[in-house]
Amino acid sequence: MTIEFTIDRRINGTQVRTGVLRTPHGDVSTPVFMPVGTFGSVRSVTPDELISAGVNILLGNAYHLYLRPGAKRIRDLGGLHAFMGWDGPILTDSGGYQVFSLASLAKVQEDGVSFRSHIDGRLHFLTPQSVIEVQQDLGSDIMMPLDHCLPYGADEGALRDALDRTNRWAEISARAAEGKKSEVFGIVQGGMNEGLRKESARFMSSLDLPGYAIGGLSVGEPKETTWAMLEAVVGELPVDRPRYLMGVGSPEDLVEAVSRGVDMFDCALPTRVARNGGLYTKTGRLNVNNARFKEYVGPAEEGCDCYFCITFSMAYLHHLFNCNELLGYRLATLHNLRYFMKLMSEVRDAINKGSFSDFKQEFMHTYVPVSEEARSQGSRNGRKGRSGGE
């Protein structure tokens, strides 16, 4: 395998652990958060700025890059790493989530998915094999197989049908990836049915893949259901392989999921929230558009070492947003990315010191999440990087 995972520290009696994910483009300490670079860039931020923020692995979207500029064009230009000037690891999403989010444009068939481009209406057909070929053309370090994700509330019959199809496609994808430089993870599905979730996890584990993703969560279900499904899945997955919870990114959700054994996350939330004036801090989110920041000479958070906080004031950022200046969106994005990287670093340090339980308790006491309504909207928006584009 070109992808290897080792566990550094595991807290006794729990699933909480730190580890190292080794890839052809470098090692990644886990638990890790992956910013979303849907079109081959994390919006408004350069690779050097990502590195300065502490980012060392990105998520790209094979669906969108397949549509434009085209995977073969990227291949001929040296692959996605060279194309976007990023020398670190890249994980690419397959497009399975687009089947869910762009359902009105797509039709699932036994051997693949036919869909009309949301860009120009042209008809396309993706198969499990072609999705792997697209990601190999991109030069991804980690590939996601085509899967069938259903919306929250789907009945058991539909869930069974989608699960069986996802399993068959996973087998085809694993064979298509054999002997290649890129590795494919399995994706656990099963909706909010615990029995199907466990069955899916056991099947994916039987394929002996280098890692396992957990899909189809945070799609509108109550949080207690999310955690129940996650716990059911984690208990069935191999201990020595990384576990990747797809599309989850609220700070409180990251800490909760780490406490249940998750190693990898992705979400467009930090960059999307930034462009809407939201800045993450240890106590919750600030809205730079609030009038109280008109004359506030301090940073978003005292002690923050991001470029914005050490250079500018909230009054300046408030002014930039009031004038719709692009620099404002960039500065807010840099702050949020740095916040997420620091949070994950603090999580890893707490686990390695054996004090994660105390860390989680203090974090949950200090951090005030947004309202449930805004949280639900943010969850949907945070995944738009897979559909409409981040």
Q: Going by DSSP bridges, is the β-strand pair 32-35/264-267 parallel, antiparallel, or unpaired? A: parallel
Tell me whether residue 198 is exposed, middle or buried, using C-beta atoms within 10 angstroms of its C-beta: 0 to 12, 13 to 18, 19 or more.
middle
Tell me whether residue 27 is exposed, middle or buried, using C-beta atoms within 10 angstroms of its C-beta: 0 to 12, 13 to 18, 19 or more.
middle
Q: Compute, in degrees rounded to 10, the torsion defined by CA atoms 59, 65, 67, 68.
A: 140
| Residue 374, pLDDT score | 60
Instruction: Specify the pTM.
Output: 0.95
Beta-carbon contacts of 117 under 8 Å, excluding residues fewer than 6 positions away, are: 67, 105, 123, 124
Per DSSP, helices labelled H in the chain are 47-53, 62-67, 71-76, 80-84, 96-101, 128-138, 156-177, 194-206, 223-234, 251-258, 269-275, 307-311, 314-322, 326-352, 356-366, 372-382
CA-based nearest residue to 375, from 253, 228, 229: 253
What does the pLDDT look like over 328-376, one tens digit per residue?
999 999 999 999 999 999 999 999 999 999 999 999 999 999 976 565 5
| Residue 189, pLDDT score | 97
Find out whether 53 and 286 touch, Cβ atoms under 8 Å. no
Catalytic residues: 93, 266
Report the Cα 346 to chain-centroid distance in Å: 19
Q: What are phi and psi of 193, to 5 degrees?
A: -105, 110
Residue 64 in 3-state DSSP? helix
Find out whether 236 and 201 touch, Cβ atoms under 8 Å. yes
DSSP β-bridge partners for residue 244: 213, 264
pLDDT per residue as tens, the chain (390 positions)? 799 999 999 999 999 999 999 999 999 999 999 999 999 999 999 999 999 999 999 999 999 999 999 999 999 999 999 999 999 999 999 977 766 677 777 889 999 999 888 889 999 999 999 999 999 999 999 999 999 999 899 999 999 999 999 999 999 999 999 988 889 999 999 999 999 999 999 999 999 999 999 999 999 999 999 999 999 999 999 999 999 999 999 999 999 999 999 999 999 999 999 999 999 999 999 999 999 999 999 999 999 999 999 999 999 999 999 999 999 999 999 999 999 999 999 999 999 999 999 999 999 999 999 976 565 554 444 444 444 457
Q: Which two tokens mark 18?
A: 């730190």
Cα-Cα-Cα-Cα dihedral sign, residues 234, 249, 108, 125 = negative
Distances (CA, A) of 202 to 223, 276, 321: 24, 41, 49
What does the pLDDT look like over 83-95, one tens digit per residue?
999 999 999 999 7
- Give all domains of the chain, ordered by start, each with its CATH number: 32-237 (3.20.20.105), 274-372 (no CATH)
Find out whether 108 and 148 touch, Cβ atoms under 8 Å. yes
DSSP β-bridge partners for residue 285: 280
- Segment holding 245, helix H or strand E: strand 243-245
How many helices and strands in the chain, by DSSP H and E? 16, 17
